Amino acid sequence: MHQNHLKKRYAILSLGVFTMLFSGILYAWSILKAPFAEIYGFTPSELSLNFTLTMSCFCIGGFLASRLARRIGVRATLLVSAPLAGLGFALAALVGARGPILLYLTYALMGGLGIGMAYIVIISSVNAWFTDRKGLSSGALMMGFGLSTLLLGNLADALFDGRLGFKGTFIAIGLALLVTLTVAALFIRTPAPDAVFPEPKKKIAAKGEDFEARDFRPGEMVRRFTFWRAFLALVCLTAVGSSVISFARDLALSLDAGASLATSLVGILAVCNGLGRILTGAVFDAMGRKFTMISASALTVFAAGVTLLSVGVGSLALLIVGLCLTGLSYGTSPTVSAAFTSAFYGRKHFATNLSISNFNLMVAAFVATACSALLSSSGGYTVPFLLLLALSLAALALNLTIKRP
């Protein structure tokens, strides 16, 4: 590959990571939801439903973008996503006491659709430049997305009590999304059809995975039993992280953490989430698909077990360890999803195939809502974490059976 061509792909990756950092603000809901409860009195179930609807719209947006990009191109699709995401957040500031329906229409529908569209286009476009290092590219992009909760989520929390206030902060987030996604639309593109990239290095763990690589159409992919095993495994893995993220702050408060420590722990979870994403990408490149997916499942079992134990014995110290492990394990899911889809089902239809695989986020979000309901009905966190531990064990069992497309 020509040297300036090599520099160009890393410049595109850097812009992609920066854009994903802003787009990941969608995941800071455990911090951003606080003013809606404190100022307008929205109930925990109403706020939990907003997260579920947001993840559902995020997945739908990704699927729509994968189809749109093939028809109108990457730039035009990102230019559609920019005002959707920006207005979604800005208008959420104007919800007021009118009830949660307007929150669902702005933050969940508009914001979720817009960011979901940008997410899938950026990942598929940037990854096309890194056919030799799928894990690195996916991991770096996912790291940017995951670190948003720590950097922008905590910044937003500080701004809520400052001059901007709650409404001004949401409007500022909306403007930032509009600008960053518009800039991304101007510079992020797929490589030329005749671009030549280095050959992927042979992975240590690739022995026994000697299937013939080919491009699967979306219809072919969803007819494969292996895809559904991987999909269900991803649902189980993602459900653990998304459920804990949705009530992480409240969980810390229940174990006598101070308000500032509880907010910081959400940020630490986000840091570990980001680290998990890039570490998973590195492991995928070095050790291959099988080792990475089984290790991710084992880590999730351990994370759910430690967090459940912390709740059982009432230990804040154990909870901190559990949240760090949960963040790392949650970070494995999106990177595995992107790298697995590319490795098993090819590059040609990657955007659409990945958008279908990402519907695991929608199913997992409903598990998060179910955990919230279990929390309310049982009056504690033990029952929800028993469910999450069972799901993580199911993911491990499923991943052990995945061998070829």
**pLDDT of 81 strictly over 90:** yes
Q: Is residue 165 part of a domain?
A: yes
Give the pLDDT band of residue 78 (cuts 50, 70, 90).
very high
When pLDDT is averaged across residues 258-265 and rounded to a whole number, the result is: 79
**pLDDT of 3 strictly over 70:** no
When pLDDT is averaged across residues 275-289 and rounded to a whole number, the result is: 81
Q: Is residue 255 part of a domain?
A: yes
Q: What was the pLDDT predicted at 197?
A: 65
Q: Is residue 204 part of a domain?
A: no
Give the pLDDT band of residue 6 (cuts 50, 70, 90).
low
**HEC letters along the chain:** CCHHHHHHHHHHHHHHHHHHHHHHHHHCHHHHCHHHHHCCCCCHHHHHHHHHHHHHHHHHHHHHHHHHHHHHCHHHHHHHHHHHHHHHHHHHCCCHHHCHHHHHHHHHHHHHHHHHHHHHHHHHHHHCCCCCCHHHHHHHHHHHHHHHHHHHHHHHHHHHCCCCHHHHHHHHHHHHHHHHHHHHHHHCCCCCCCCCCCCCCCCHHHCCCCCCCCCCCHHHHHCCHHHHHHHHHHHHHHHHHHHHHHHHHHHHHHCCCCHHHHHHHHHHHHHHHHHHHHHHHHHHHHHCHHHHHHHHHHHHHHHHHHHHHHHHHCCHHHHHHHHHHHHHHHHHHHHHHHHHHHHHHCCCCHHHHHHHHCCHHHHHHHHHHHHHHHHHHHCCCHHHHHHHHHHHHHHHHHHCCCCCC
When pLDDT is averaged across residues 325-349 and rounded to a whole number, the result is: 85
Residues 113-151 have pLDDT tens digits of 999 999 989 988 998 888 777 767 877 887 888 778 778
**pLDDT of 80 strictly over 90:** yes
Q: What was the pLDDT predicted at 1?
A: 47
When pLDDT is averaged across residues 41-60 and rounded to a whole number, the result is: 87
Give the pLDDT band of residue 208 (cuts 50, 70, 90).
very low
Q: What was the pLDDT predicted at 202?
A: 54
Q: Is residue 55 part of a domain?
A: yes
Which of 110-119, 274-283, 373-382 is most confident? 110-119
Q: What was the pLDDT predicted at 175?
A: 96
What is the percent of the chain where pLDDT is above 70?
A: 93
| Whole-prediction pTM | 0.79
Give the pLDDT band of residue 235 (cuts 50, 70, 90).
very high
Q: Which residue range(s) make up the domain with 124?
A: 3-191+216-399
- Bigger pLDDT: 214 or 54? 54
Q: Is residue 133 part of a domain?
A: yes
**pLDDT of 66 strictly over 60:** yes
Q: What is the CATH number of the domain that holds 250?
A: 1.20.1250.20
When pLDDT is averaged across residues 82-94 and rounded to a whole number, the result is: 93
When pLDDT is averaged across residues 382-392 and rounded to a whole number, the result is: 92
Q: Is residue 170 part of a domain?
A: yes
Which of 9-18, 249-258, 286-295, 335-344 is most confident? 9-18
Domains: count for the chain = 1
When pLDDT is averaged across residues 158-183 and rounded to a whole number, the result is: 91
Q: What was the pLDDT predicted at 207?
A: 45
Q: Is residue 66 part of a domain?
A: yes
Lowest mean pLDDT among 95-104, 195-204, 311-320, 341-350: 195-204
Q: Is residue 201 part of a domain?
A: no
- Bigger pLDDT: 207 or 88? 88
Q: What is the mean pLDDT of the chain?
A: 85
When pLDDT is averaged across residues 301-311 and rounded to a whole number, the result is: 92
Q: What was the pLDDT predicted at 205?
A: 45
- Bigger pLDDT: 80 or 197? 80
**pLDDT of 16 strictly over 70:** yes
**pLDDT of 355 strictly over 90:** no
